[in-house]
């Protein structure tokens, strides 16, 4: 059984308008998303901004009110607040935020920030609690001096590591990492990611890794879901997504990864333009009449794509020929 099973998750925001301020329409931020996260794996959720990936992440932690669908954890649907309370859900599922500065309360000392989940869930004695905070700081590579300082006294990378320490504090089973490194520069990104990987190895934590940076996702994730306009357009292993992309949206994302090979700059440019051309010409083939993605169809046991069955088969066989 999977750690978390997300079924047909929908988060819609009402749009009010008119004289009576009635609900006239809704923004379909997340519109029928289903996937499973296995224990101990890193699941990548990728998409452009506004595709609903952060909303999906927040729903999984329980910060977002879900319109319909279910998120099953230990056999209970945690979209209901009472089930979350019953399971002490946030003891097991924590979150790392994108903006390290605004996610740490500027008026609290680091000790209080990291100890917050411990105080709510574990009720340790004062000394044990302090010891745990010191150990956590040590694990993310910070000195004991940090204990009584305030968040603004740290650099971005250090703050994000404090955020990681807080998320790990209760030894959770799953951590939602909502673009944890996209606000950091590249050298610091690598540092934070390596700490996250080290923690995963040592504590056996699963990550739901939300990102728009396919390079980072490739480094971190075993299974990847591509999200577009509130729906999943492609699910697969790292190999499926990076080497056999089927959906045009996935191809566009991959084409957008910058290449450092200066000698074949022209060739890369041409291939990017070719992908864009296909997208412009064949949009109607890849999206339905309302501009939404099709339901997912299975191509191989690990690989699914949001296309009508016939087109999916056709593309898959084409892909096979190219490989051959």
Partner 1 sequence: MAENFEQHSDISAADLARLTQEAQAEATPSTAKIIWSEFKADKPAMAALIIIVGFILFVMIGALFINTPKMMETNIMGYFNQPFTADFWLGADSAGRSVAKQLIVGSRNSIGIAIGLTVISSTFGICWGLISGYFNGYIDWGMQRIYDFMMMLPMTMMIIVLVTIIPHYNSVTLTFIFSIFYWEGTSRLIRSRTLAESEKDYVAASKASGTSHWKIIFREIMPNISSLIIVDCTLSFAENIGVETGLSYLGFGLPSQTPSLGTMIANANDPNNITQYWWTWLPAALEIIILCLSISYVGQVLRRAADSSQRQGSVN
Query: What minimum distance in Å lies between the beta carbon of 107 and partner 1?
Result: 4
Between 111 and 276, whose beta carbon lies closer to partner 1? Answer: 111
- Is the four-CA dihedral 244, 34, 256, 263 of positive or negative sign? negative
At 57, phi and psi to the nearest 5?
-60, -45
How far are the Cα atoms of 96, 111, 179, 316 from residue 137, in angstroms, in the given order?
16, 9, 21, 48
Q: Which of 28, 80, 91, 272 binds partner 1 (CB under 8 A)?
A: 91
Between 152 and 261, whose beta carbon lies closer to partner 1? Answer: 152
Stretch that binds partner 1, among 7-15, 121-129, 266-274, 297-305 (CB under 8 A): 121-129
How far are the Cα atoms of 163, 233, 296 from residue 68, in angstroms, in the given order?
30, 20, 19
Q: How far apart are CA 293 and CA 19, in angstroms?
A: 34
In 18-135, the DSSP E strands lie at 22-37, 42-47, 68-73, 76-77, 93-96
Between 108 and 218, whose beta carbon lies closer to partner 1? Answer: 108
Q: Which of 68, 138, 264, 314 binds partner 1 (CB under 8 A)?
A: 138
If one asks whether residue 197 binds partner 1 (CB under 8 A), the answer comes out as no
Q: Which of 27, 131, 186, 257 binds partner 1 (CB under 8 A)?
A: 131
Binding site for partner 1 (CB under 8 A): 58, 61-63, 88, 90-91, 94-95, 97-99, 102-109, 116-117, 120-121, 127-128, 130-132, 134-136, 138-139, 144-150, 152-153, 163, 166, 171, 202-203
């Amino acid at each position: 059984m999977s750690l978390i099973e997300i079924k047909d998750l929908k988060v819609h925001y009402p749009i009010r308008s008119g004289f009576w301020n009635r609900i006239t329409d809704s923004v379909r931020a997340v519109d029928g998303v289903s996937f499973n996260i296995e224990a101990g794996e890193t699941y990548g959720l990728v998409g452009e901004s506004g595709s609903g990936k952060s909303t999906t992440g927040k729903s999984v932690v329980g910060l977002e009110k879900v319109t319909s669908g279910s998120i099953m954890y230990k056999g209970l649907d945690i979209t209901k607040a009472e089930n979350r309370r019953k399971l002490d859900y946030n003891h097991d599922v924590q979150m790392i935020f994108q903006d390290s500065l605004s996610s740490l309360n500027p008026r609290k000392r680091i000790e209080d920030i990291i100890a917050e989940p411990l105080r709510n869930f574990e009720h340790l004695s004062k000394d044990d609690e302090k010891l745990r905070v010191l150990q956590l700081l040590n694990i993310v590579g910070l000195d004991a001096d940090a204990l009584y300082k305030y968040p603004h006294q740290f650099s971005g990378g250090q703050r994000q590591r404090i955020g990681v320490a807080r998320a790990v504090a209760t030894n959770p089973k799953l951590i939602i990492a909502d673009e944890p490194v996209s606000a950091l520069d590249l050298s610091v990104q690598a540092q934070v990611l390596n700490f996250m990987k080290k923690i995963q190895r040592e504590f056996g934590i699963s990550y739901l890794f939300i990102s728009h940076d396919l390079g980072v996702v490739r480094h971190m994730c075993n299974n990847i879901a591509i999200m577009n306009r509130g729906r999943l357009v492609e699910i697969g292993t790292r190999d499926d997504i990076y080497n056999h992309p089927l959906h045009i949206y996935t191809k566009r994302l991959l084409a957008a990864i910058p290449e450092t090979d200066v000698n074949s700059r022209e060739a890369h440019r041409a291939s990017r333009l070719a992908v864009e051309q296909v997208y412009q010409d064949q949009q109607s083939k890849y999206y339905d009449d309302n501009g939404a993605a099709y339901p997912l169809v299975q191509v191989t046991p690990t690989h699914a794509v949001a296309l009508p069955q016939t087109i999916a088969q056709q593309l898959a066989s084409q892909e096979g020929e190219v490989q051959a």
